[in-house]
Amino acid sequence: MPRVIEVEDDAIASLAECVDALTACGFEPDEDESLLHAAGWLRRLGNDKTFLGDILIEQLARRHREESIDNAYSPQVMMLAPPNGEFFIRANIWPALDDHMVRASGGDSFVLGLPHDHNFNFLTLGYFGPGYWSDYYEYDYAEVTGYRGEPVPSLKFVERSRLEEGKIMLYRAHLDVHAQGAADSLSVSLNIMHTTGAQGWLDQYSFDLERREIAAIISPGPSEALLKVAVGLGSDEALDLAHRFARRHPSDRMRLAAWDALAARESEIAAREGLWREAEGSGSRLVEMEARRRRAEPA
């Protein structure tokens, strides 16, 4: 399960002070000194029980007339400090099951009940309310290729617990899996998210817990969507690029996206099947297994 980090500190820090401290020293969650430094500043920020409400009131008073990436937010996630190359800071709002937003939008909109890992490390602090529940699991990322239906024998249940107010945890990339439940009442968490240039090429999975299998890759990158649009428009350059990506791109996920884009252009079943047969022998285990699945699916 995520690593619980004990930090005793009654000091209060502003958001600006927290950002300055992290910017000065960086955030490397794999290094204990850097991790504890970040957790300490997250604790101090969390000790300020008015700053987030003040930001929300200010935004409402201005009616969002000066929106920018610095204060961009969604109904559930509010960006507090934008990405700077190593980290960003956000606040997450977690409603209860009987709150109107869940009843109106459904639990899927808040990723409730979806067992998944993360392709990044992040610190989280229970800031307000009782906190959300999670069933926590662990698995060995190195043992999986990532195709749908792939067995994950190392996946094991660890415990059920709650992100209570004041609790700090480190969610570890490619190790911790959680199936998140709703909070008992409206809750808020604060996150320091670690970012790297390679993150977009690292896979994040959802899991079928009953079967102990990979259910899906849930971290498609923007390059994959752009490739599919370009191939759909049908230029010779786009088709040539897709064929090259399908056979030689270093990312298996991008290779699969290229085959998907090429197959989507084919109106004849035989032509699509021929492409997927070719994909099976393209040298990628992920593409091979997904290609077999595509051929077995009803036309």
Distance CA 299, CA 295 (A): 8
pLDDT in tens, 239-255: 999 999 999 999 999 99
Mean pLDDT, the chain, rounded, equals: 91
Average pLDDT on 193-221 reads 91
282 secondary structure, DSSP code: S
Q: Which residue type occupies 197?
A: G
Burial of 66 (0-12, 13-18, 19+ CB in 10 A): exposed
> How many other CB atoms are there within 10 angstroms of residue 57's CB atom?
11
Question: Six-digit token pair at 269?
Answer: 């079943």
Helices (H) and strands (E) in the chain, counts: 9, 11
Tens digits of residue pLDDT in 209-218: 999 999 999 9
pLDDT in tens, 132-189: 999 999 999 999 999 999 999 999 999 999 999 999 999 999 999 999 999 999 999 9
Would you say 95 and 186 are in contact if contact means Cβ atoms under 8 Å apart?
A: yes
Q: Above 80 in pLDDT, residue 37?
A: yes
Q: Which residue has the tokens 């020293």?
A: 25
pTM (2 decimals)?
Answer: 0.89
φ, ψ dihedrals at 276, nearest 5°: -70, -30
Orientation of helix 252-264 relative to helix 285-296, angle to 10°: 30
* pLDDT band at residue 62 under the 50/70/90 scheme: confident
In this structure, what are the phi and psi dihedrals at residue 79, rounded to the nearest 5 degrees?
A: -75, 120
User: Which domains can be identified in the chain, with CATH numbers?
Assistant: 3-217 (2.60.120.10), 222-296 (no CATH)
Give the span between the Cα atoms of 35 and 28, in whole angstroms.
Answer: 6
Sign of the torsion angle spanned by Cα atoms 36, 38, 44, 46: negative
Using CA atoms, how far apart are residues 213 and 121, in angstroms rounded to an integer? 23
Residues 6+ apart with CB under 8 A from 154: 138, 139, 140, 143
Report whether 176 contacts 130 (CB < 8 A): no
Higher pLDDT, 155 or 200: 155
Instruction: Tell me how far apart the alpha carbons of residues 46 and 155 are, in angstroms, rounded to a whole number.
Output: 33
More confident residue, 61 or 82: 82
d(CA 139, CA 174): 8
Q: What is the pLDDT of residue 76?
A: 83
Token digits for 86?
């190593």
User: What pLDDT is recorded for position 66?
Assistant: 55
HSE-up (13 A, CA, CB side) for residue 44 = 16
pLDDT of residue 109: 67
Q: How many CA atoms lie within 13 A of 257 on its CB side?
A: 23
